[in-house]
Amino acid sequence: MAQRNHEGETAGDLLGDYLRNQAMRFLRGLRLHECSGADAAEASDASEVMRGASRRISGALLTFRPVTDPPWADGLRTELIWVSGVLADEHAYASRLARLLEALHRLSGSAAPQIPAARGAAGPRGGLALGAARAAALLDRQLTLARTRAHSATLQAFGSARFHAVADAVAVLASEVQVDPVAARGDVHQVLVPLASVAESRLAEAVCRLPEPSRIHDEAQDAFWHTVRRLLRTHRYALEVLGEDVTRLATAGEALDRHRDAAEAASASALAARTPRIAPATAYALGVLHADQRHEVEAARLAFQHVWQRSAVRT
Amino acid sequence: MAQRNHEGETAGDLLGDYLRNQAMRFLRGLRLHECSGADAAEASDASEVMRGASRRISGALLTFRPVTDPPWADGLRTELIWVSGVLADEHAYASRLARLLEALHRLSGSAAPQIPAARGAAGPRGGLALGAARAAALLDRQLTLARTRAHSATLQAFGSARFHAVADAVAVLASEVQVDPVAARGDVHQVLVPLASVAESRLAEAVCRLPEPSRIHDEAQDAFWHTVRRLLRTHRYALEVLGEDVTRLATAGEALDRHRDAAEAASASALAARTPRIAPATAYALGVLHADQRHEVEAARLAFQHVWQRSAVRT
């Protein structure tokens, strides 16, 4: 699997370098976040840096667990998953709202003048445009509220003893990685490459278990793709440790990110449609929006399959 | 273009045979319709035979107009278009309702148990299933009413002097086709093949003018595809006169039929959503249904393009 030449490097060197780099990245993100103050865009960038580093550290700790001190690795991984979960929520609500408003704009903006509803006997009052505007206002209200709550939760988490302990642990990681002394002295090809292969096999198996991407409204299938998304990330970070090219995995991962985003946007639209006392035109626009996002789910699945088949994965 | 050997046949022979056969088919359909009484399925079959024959006769009269007596051909064609229009309405409402109910069943049946709306905080009351059932009842009411009206209009048309005149004209056509004496004596390859080529060129030009099938919710684009559907039929019937294989044209035509059906089903769903005082859940289901049918429109466009590109049309 490995294509780079790792002669003279031990498993501990390579994994240690990667973990230290990601730990320093996490700390940079944290400093940026602390300095961002009221600048929401800067805080969002900082949060993304911290999430990326958290995911990479926990991914590497999972795949290469036998090379580390396992109890330490498991503990740190649990805490980093918590941190990136907290950070992800606020970002998710903001980007979900942006995605839904963009879709509503597309659906009503281009279709409104020609839509039969706007030409019909009842005049323009029944067109998608009116319902879309109301649906946009409703989603804006609901998702902004959720984002505000997530923001408060993030601030609360940042002030907690638990978070300070994670930050301390990452600061230690930036200078010293706790490894298994025997495994860490081993050859990269003998130790890390086989462990990375396990991550790759898990991914390949999950891809094989994917249902045919045909019944797009069957939301029970989404979970299969979310699993592949998670395993693909783990595999990707393992390859990053080995210094491999991950371009195609990143492209496949983007399709799965879109899949997740569209699936959650569709759910948000369905949820908004259950708001009591909304107008039928609003509910109608939310129905159109739901179906539109489910079709984005479908498109993302096809895009993933396309990239995946082209990438000639070695199982 | 023509692949069959028409040696020894005149243009008048070939066109006359086709028109006489279709006229006899029309009369068989008419007899079947008169005998069908209260049997709706039999009446529907009879109606389809009559519509198929009407379309073929008027298509052949249009393409090969210079071989016929043009004033007679134009008059008969106008009347046959009227007949097939009357017959098509009732069928269209029935099949539109069936298509919409099938789609609602698919959308709610498979998704309902897993749909977030049914799992969410508000419990099962907000799921798609309830709205879908109400939307189905609403569409059933509206389209059954429209079909009943179309049925009455058909019965009224069948009893009219205008219809009797058409039936008489077709009965005459079954034994004698009014042709241009000079053109009809001409060679098939010299007379009919060039005229069929004109129909083919018109179709090819209309296909070239088709917009990119990307903005599925832009319903103003539908008309381009409906034009292609009409020209494809005319071209197909011209090839039938020449005894050519029309399998691929028929397949392409089926995709355009699906396109038309889905576009009209989407409009019916949008129209139903403007019914006063409907519940938001009903409007939501109609929105999902509308978007679903617009995606069927998109799928039909892609299916058409696929068949069309494979069929390596000679322009």
B-chain residue closest to A296, CA distance: B295
Counting residues of chain A whose pLDDT is more than 70, the rounded percentage is 90
Please report whether residue B4 resides in a domain: no
Q: What is the pLDDT of residue A12?
A: 94
Tell me if B179 sits within 8 A of B69, measured CB to CB: yes
More confident residue, A99 or A125: A99
**Count of domains for chain B:** 1
Considering only CB atoms, B115 lies closest to which of A270, A278, A288, namely: A270
* Domain span including residue B248: 11-310
Mean pLDDT calculated for residue range A261-270: 96
Which residues of A are less than 8 Å from B291 in CB distance?
287-292, 295
Q: What is the pLDDT of residue B140?
A: 96
Please report whether residue B6 resides in a domain: no
pLDDT value at B200 more than 80: yes
B296-301 long-range contacts, Cβ below 8 Å, gap at least 24?
B296/B103, B296/B258, B296/B262, B296/B265, B296/B266, B297/B216, B297/B222, B297/B259, B297/B262, B297/B263, B297/B266, B298/B213, B298/B216, B299/B258, B300/B255, B300/B256, B300/B258, B300/B259, B300/B262, B301/B213, B301/B225, B301/B255, B301/B259
Residues with Cβ < 8 Å from B225, sequence gap 6 or more? B210, B256, B259, B260, B301, B304
Contact A290 B285 (CB under 8 A): no
Contact A274 B126 (CB under 8 A): yes
Contact B285 A287 (CB under 8 A): yes
Contact A110 B281 (CB under 8 A): no
pLDDT value at B221 more than 70: yes
Q: Is B109 an interface residue toward A (CB < 8 Å)?
A: no
Q: What is the pLDDT of residue B3?
A: 59
Contact B273 A116 (CB under 8 A): no
Tell me if A103 sits within 8 A of A288, measured CB to CB: no
Considering only CB atoms, A267 lies closest to which of B107, B116, B288, namely: B116
First to last CA, chain B: 9
Which residues of B are less than 8 Å from A273 in CB distance?
117, 126, 280-281, 284
Per residue in A30-70, pLDDT tens?
999 988 877 888 888 999 999 999 999 999 999 999 999 99
pLDDT value at A291 more than 50: yes
Per residue in B264-276, pLDDT tens?
999 999 999 999 9
pLDDT value at B215 more than 60: no
Q: At how many degrees (to 10) do helices B188-208 and B11-36 cross?
A: 60
Residues B180, B184, B187, CA angle at the centre, nearest 5°? 150
Which residues of A are less than 8 Å from B115 in CB distance?
219, 270
Q: Phi, psi at residue B180, to the nearest 5°?
A: -80, 120
Distance (Å) from the alpha carbon of A82 to chain B's nearest alpha carbon: 24
Q: Which amino acid is at B197?
A: S
Q: Is B198 an interface residue toward A (CB < 8 Å)?
A: no
Per residue in B36-52, pLDDT tens?
877 888 888 999 999 99
Counting residues of chain B whose pLDDT is more than 70, the rounded percentage is 90
Counting residues of chain A whose pLDDT is more than 90, the rounded percentage is 77
Mean pLDDT, rounded, of chain B? 89
Which residues of A are less than 8 Å from B106 in CB distance?
217
pLDDT range class, residue A8, cuts 50, 70, 90: confident
Considering only CB atoms, B287 lies closest to which of A110, A219, A284, namely: A284
User: H or E stretch including A124?
Assistant: none
Mean pLDDT calculated for residue range B171-180: 92
Q: What is the pLDDT of residue B170?
A: 97
Please report whether residue A315 resides in a domain: no
Please report whether residue A88 resides in a domain: yes
The burial of B286, by beta-carbon neighbours within 10 Å (0-12 exposed, 13-18 middle, 19 or more buried), is given as buried
CATH of the domain at B123: 1.40.20.10
State whether residue B187 is helix, strand or coil.
strand
Q: What is the pLDDT of residue A53?
A: 97
**Nearest-angstrom CA–CA distance, B89 and B242:** 30
A-chain residue closest to B291, CA distance: A288
Q: What is the pLDDT of residue B286?
A: 96
pLDDT value at A145 more than 50: yes
Q: Is A299 an interface residue toward B (CB < 8 Å)?
A: no
pTM: 0.80
ipTM: 0.73
**Nearest-angstrom CA–CA distance, A229 and A252:** 9
Which residues of B are less than 8 Å from A282 in CB distance?
280, 283
Contact A116 B267 (CB under 8 A): yes
Please report whether residue A129 resides in a domain: yes
**Nearest-angstrom CA–CA distance, A222 and A297:** 9
Which residues of B are less than 8 Å from A111 in CB distance?
217-219
Which B positions 248-267 lie with beta carbon below 8 A of chain A? Answer: 267
B-chain residue closest to A115, CA distance: B219
Q: What is the pLDDT of residue B120?
A: 37
Q: Is A117 an interface residue toward B (CB < 8 Å)?
A: yes
Residues with Cβ < 8 Å from B13, sequence gap 6 or more? none
The structure tokens listed for B170 are 């077709």
**Nearest-angstrom CA–CA distance, A280 and B286:** 10
Which residues of B are less than 8 Å from A126 in CB distance?
273-274
Q: Is A285 an interface residue toward B (CB < 8 Å)?
A: yes
Contact A218 B111 (CB under 8 A): yes
Q: What is the pLDDT of residue A127?
A: 59
Can you tell me which residue has the tokens 């005049």?
Answer: A123
In sequence order, the β-bridge partners of residue A68 are A179
Cβ count near A145 (within 10 Å)? 11
3-state helix, strand, coil in chain B (%, to 5): 80, 0, 20
Cβ count near A7 (within 10 Å)? 8
Q: What is the pLDDT of residue B115?
A: 36
pLDDT value at B202 more than 50: yes
Q: At how many degrees (to 10) do helices A222-241 and A11-36 cross?
A: 110
Please report whether residue A3 resides in a domain: no
Q: What number of C-beta contacts closer than 8 Å exist between A and B? A: 117
Q: Phi, psi at residue B34, to the nearest 5°?
A: -65, -35
**Nearest-angstrom CA–CA distance, A44 and B65:** 71
Q: Is B217 an interface residue toward A (CB < 8 Å)?
A: yes
Which residues of B are less than 8 Å from A280 in CB distance?
273, 278-280, 282-283
The structure tokens listed for B26 are 């029309």
Q: Is B122 an interface residue toward A (CB < 8 Å)?
A: yes
Distance (Å) from the alpha carbon of B214 to chain A's nearest alpha carbon: 12
pLDDT value at A248 more than 90: yes
Per residue in A205-219, pLDDT tens?
999 999 875 555 567
Please report whether residue A2 resides in a domain: no
Mean pLDDT calculated for residue range B212-222: 69
Please report whether residue A6 resides in a domain: no
pLDDT value at A125 more than 50: no
